[in-house]
A and B are shown apart, each in its own frame.
Chain A
Amino acid sequence: MRLNNIQESFKDLMLQPPQALETPGEAFAALFEEGDIPLHERLKVYRSNVIGGITDALIATFPLLKDLVGEEFLRDMARAFVIQNPPQAGCLNMYGAGFDTFIETFPLAKDLQYLPDIARLELAINEAYFAPDDESLSAQSLSAILPESLPALHLKLRASARLIESKFPLDKIRAFCLDPENQTVPNIQAGGVNLLILRPKLDIEFTLLDDDELMALSLLQKKNTFGAAIEQTLQAFPSFDLPAFLQKHIALETFQTLWPNRLI
């Protein structure tokens, strides 16, 4: 068997349920020396390392889910996800994209409708955590731009910025999970929330957003010009307060510097 086929077969076997190790197929089994220890016991060591290791890496991204459903339940979901969606890169920092939509289809989680949004929140936190470091736009830099240049400007959000829109109160659910003293279960029907997840320097910051802010930031993130983003936001929300929006997000360090490579 060629190396490529050996590795394909090995990979396929690792991603099968554990009982498949007992019947790996004649051609595959014939590749290996027979010894005192049965082949399936030897393969079990690998499968345990592969699935266990990736599952551990995945669940480390979801401490809120772990708190809400318990480690055993989370591990069951994670293991099922890993088998269907193994990592595609040799670095697992960002692994887990799609776990939110996978949970939507996980039969035992179907009554917990807020779980996929908690997973989305935790994926966003993880992405922000590992996003490339960059610098923020200062008020001075923004005020130095000529007013007539502003509409054509591409005002970028920081590399760590993630926008979350949910019909569940993710902020209250998160606060509940983080405070072991808090026994008051939040009312998950209490209304939705828009959140900006941002890592200005080392720590992740969470900021509640109004609908108009969410729209403006979302349009900027989708690479619209400043003029187009503001115009569309004003059309949808005539009361959108642009000066207040800019002041708030300059203070939060939401925007990336316009001169990332300047020498100062």
Chain B
Amino acid sequence: MSVEKTQTENTKQDTPPGLNDPVGIGLRTPYYQEILDVSPEVGWLEIHPENYFGGGIHRHFLEQIKHKYPLSMHAVGLSLGSAHPVSQEHLRQFKELIDRYNPFVVSDHASWSTSGNAHLNDLLPLPYNQETLNALCRNIDITQEALGRTILVENPSTYVAFKDNEMSEYEFLKTAADKTGCSLLLDINNIYVQSKNHGLDPLEYIDNIPADKVGEMHLAGHTRRIAGNNEILVDTHNREVCDDVWDLYAHAVRRFGAIPTLIEWDQDFPPLQILIDEAARARNIIRANSEKKVPYAAE
């Protein structure tokens, strides 16, 4: 089942400024005041909607910031890959935020975090088989139905691989997008982490994702962690994007065009200028590698 309402239709209702610059950064608490004070030159801001459930100071800042930047809402708590259905209460709170702040795009992950009554607050791995695909598609359907719009679903970083995978990760994501009408959020750092942790070819991954399925890209830093005599790359969002990932990003831009791209940084927050510099680097790569216009641009 797919939801008919497209993102383009949603964008036409936007009250915030249109998206003229494809590169955004994460809006996190340490940057609230500085972003209001200096209005950094970035195209848009991303929030984790869960941080704005309820009222108080976070909403107070968002009320002001929403007039200056287009917003994206990147959820971390829906647990789309759970064997059980998505929480209706979580969806209700998410919808209330969407109705109030009118993001140009909403997304979550192809992973799970909730089992039974426990929410583990992490992006946990899924076996790529038919049963998981059915569960994921059912939860994407429920979410798109409740939110009244299509969502983007992000590829994860994983640290284990399941033996009974019946398909590759990109086939799994592509099929989920076909079945539900959702689009994909390609995290280029996650593709790199997957390639190192599981011995995959990152270019093959990118080249097998249909260009019309990708609505956004993410860029982030990772950490190398020693594990026995080897190392595991962990998706930590706490440092600059590495050179290999920038190269992969250039390749992805050539394939997918100048689509919205986020610089993610979620812990060990640096001065805001570092994020602005990373955004500028992404923008330069887009200029050098893409002829395409930015989707969602203001008319």
Contact = CB atoms under 8 A, between A and B. Distances in A.
A32 B163 contact: yes
Interface in B109-145: 112-122, 124, 126-127, 131-132, 135
Nearest to B63: A133
Contact of B120 (A6, A11, A36, A134): A11
Interface residues of A, number: 48
Contacts of A7: 82-83, 112, 115, 124
Contacts of A173: none
Contacts, number: 137
Interface centre among A3, A92, A159 (most CB of B within 10 A): A3
Given A14-B120, A54-B120, A91-B50, 20 more contacts: A2-B83, A4-B84, A8-B115, A10-B124, A33-B162, A37-B227, A37-B230, A42-B227, A43-B159, A45-B159, A54-B121, A86-B118, A86-B119, A90-B114, A91-B90, A92-B121, A93-B50, A129-B57, A130-B54, A159-B55
B77 interface: yes
A247 B78 CA distance: 45
A211 to B, nearest CB: 30
B167 interface: no
Nearest to B53: A91
Given A57-B121, A91-B77, A31 B163 contact: yes
A30 interface: yes
Contacts of B120: 11, 14, 50, 54, 86
A152 to B, nearest CB: 29
Contact of B53 (A36, A42, A88, A93): A93
Interface of B: 50-51, 53-57, 59-60, 76-79, 82-84, 87, 89-90, 93, 112-122, 124, 126-127, 131-132, 135, 159-164, 225, 227-230, 232, 234
A2 B119 CA distance: 19
B55 A131 contact: yes
Contacts of A193: none
Contacts of B229: 36
Nearest to A130: B54
Contacts of B163: 30-33
A35 B197 CA distance: 10
A85 B51 CA distance: 21
Given A3-B132, A32-B163, A93-B51, A11 B116 contact: yes
B127 A6 contact: yes
A133 B59 contact: yes
A134 B87 CA distance: 26
B56 A129 contact: yes
Interface of A: 2-4, 6-8, 10-11, 14-15, 30-33, 35-39, 41-46, 49-50, 53-54, 57, 86-94, 129-134, 159, 199, 202
Contacts of A199: 56
A37 B83 contact: no
Contacts of B60: 202
A3 to B, nearest CB: 4
Contacts of B164: 31
Contacts of B78: 90
B131 A3 contact: yes
B53 A43 contact: no
B113 A42 contact: no
Contacts of B90: 89-91
Contacts of B84: 4
Contacts of B131: 2-3
A37 B50 contact: no
Q: Name the 4 nearest CB pairs between A and B, nearest first.
A: A90-B77, A133-B55, A130-B54, A4-B83
Given A8-B115, A50-B120, A42 B160 contact: yes
A92 B83 contact: no
B118 A88 contact: yes
A92 B293 CA distance: 39
A11 B83 CA distance: 13
Nearest to B91: A90
